[in-house]
Amino acid sequence: MEQSESELIGRAQSGDAEAFSTLARAYERRLYVLALHHVRDRADAEDLSQEVWLKAFRAIKSFRGESSFYTWLRQIMINTFLNERRALPYGGAQVVELDAWEASRRDASHGNNASLPVRSRGLEETVERQFLVARVLDALGELTAQQRLIFLLKHQEGMTYEEIADSLGCSTGTTKKALFRAVLKLREQLGVEVEAARYEPTRPFRKSC
Amino acid sequence: MHDCRHTQDNLVELLFDEPGSATRSRLLAEVEACALCGAQYRSLAETLDLCEAASAASLPRESYWPQYHAALSRRLHAAAGERQTNDARAQRRQSAPFWKRLLTTSIRVPAPVAAAAALLLVALSMFALSLAARSAPEPVVLAAPNASQGASAPQIKFIEVPVVQEKIITQTLYVPHRNSRNDGGDATASRRALTRENLAGVSRQNARAPEAEATPRANLSGFKPAGEVNLRIIKGSDAREH
């Protein structure tokens, strides 16, 4: 029988680790992706996201229900991200994926793509996706820690400028400037051309929370 | 009037749907009217779309999540056990008698205060040691530490050295002259007897100088040795010859 979030929170507050573990299932992927984009390494992202869950479990008694559980959890996550010093230097993570991608591109340029079996084409798509992830993670690595966190909170979490400013303890103006610079730097790092923008945008962007 | 710079400054906000509806409509109209602003808008939108696609693609395979969740569950259970232990310890502590709680109580002190207290303690200790060293007698270093001993500390020994207090006693003896003929046989005999007596007295004095000093001889009347006594034996003429 499915238990409601408030019931699970109540049990977790009385020390039930299993209830908290069930509660974590609902948000663990979202938290993991955010951690991955922040630290840009899968092993570190796993460690960091689990650290957030552990901190949340230790502090669950202080949860009063004044905000949603995820809002409360997100603040713990932001504090943990601000404290962590494990962000990789530029270009440290995805070397293997890039090599595999280049090999597949060479095959495709020699006309081998059509003759590839379905499984190989699926593999190539996977490699393409991995390459995209690697490109974006590398571009994120060029941002400062604050710019990266502000961009992720805005882009992935859909938080308002005021919410971000409150969470990070800075002004709304600082948040706006940091986001503006972050997007411009990402565009430069991802090599998106301004004049030759052939992409039909799906914007205005609004991320559902 | 269209201002490209002003419009482009607001493009990011437009992309995130931040401005109000009126501002948003005006900005969209300007983006459509101006080719440069439109290109800027489309490139920024493409950037965000790439990030969104990467975000969706960065999720691990489904097979990853069971082991992730198992690892998280293990850590949560370990944390729960730790919390129960801490709670039990806190409960035991609360039920302990007052004197036990008082003895085992610890207080949190800010690090700068603790450091200052430690420094003060060290300074006081050094001051007390220096005071003690000033009042102690100067040590006598008998031998300098050997250079081959390297970094070993020099050994300081205190040895009481007995000081022999010597007294030199000076005593003048008059020996009768051998050539004196007036005295005849009696004088010679008396001289010899006096010489024997003097010699015996001197040998006794050499053996027991303090005793000799304590028992004055008849011919040393009025002799008062001071700190040191010199004994001189003068072989020469009799006092009567002078």
The string of pLDDT tens digits covering residues B142-200 is: 555 555 555 566 677 777 777 766 666 666 666 666 554 555 556 566 666 666 666 66
Under-70 pLDDT residues of chain A:
1-2, 85-122, 195-209
- Nearest neighbour of A133 by CB, restricted to B24, B44, B58: B58
Residue B144 half-sphere exposure toward CB, CA atoms < 13 A: 3
pTM here? 0.58
Q: How confident is the model at residue B79 (pLDDT cuts 50, 70, 90)?
A: confident
Q: How confident is the model at residue B226 (pLDDT cuts 50, 70, 90)?
A: low
Please provide residue B174's backbone torsions phi and psi, each rounded to the nearest 5 degrees: -105, 120
Q: How confident is the model at residue B113 (pLDDT cuts 50, 70, 90)?
A: very high
* Residue B6 or residue A92, greater confidence: B6
Cα-based distances in Å from B196 to A22, B63, B180, B192, B193: 128, 131, 18, 6, 5
Judge contact between B231 and B171, C-beta under 8 A: yes
Please give the pLDDT value at position B59.
Answer: 86
Q: What is the mean pLDDT of residues B132-140?
A: 68
| Phi-psi sector, A111: left (phi>0), alpha (psi -120 to 50), beta | left
- Nearest neighbour of B47 by CB, restricted to A17, A133, A183: A183
Which A-chain residues 51-70 have CB contacts (< 8 A) with chain B?
53-54, 57-58
Judge contact between A185 and A147, C-beta under 8 A: yes
Please give the pLDDT value at position A92.
Answer: 44
Check if the interface score ipTM surpasses 0.95: no
| Helices (H), ranges, A26-88 | 28-39, 42-58, 69-83
Please give the pLDDT value at position B199.
Answer: 64
Mutation choice for A interface testing from B18, B48, B69 by most A CBs within 10 A: B48
Residue B219 carries which DSSP code? G
- Nearest neighbour of A136 by CB, restricted to B41, B44, B54: B54
Please give the pLDDT value at position A131.
Answer: 86
Q: What is the mean pLDDT of residues B54-66?
A: 87
Task: Indicate the average pLDDT of chain B.
Answer: 74
Please give the pLDDT value at position A86.
Answer: 47
Please give the pLDDT value at position A119.
Answer: 57
Q: With contacts defined as CB-CB under 8 Å, which chain A residues touch B44? A: 183-184, 187
User: Residue B29 pLDDT > 80, yes or no?
Assistant: yes
User: Residue B208 pLDDT > 90, yes or no?
Assistant: no
Is A202 close to B57, i.e. CB distance below 8 A?
no
Please give the pLDDT value at position B18.
Answer: 76
Judge contact between B235 and B195, C-beta under 8 A: no
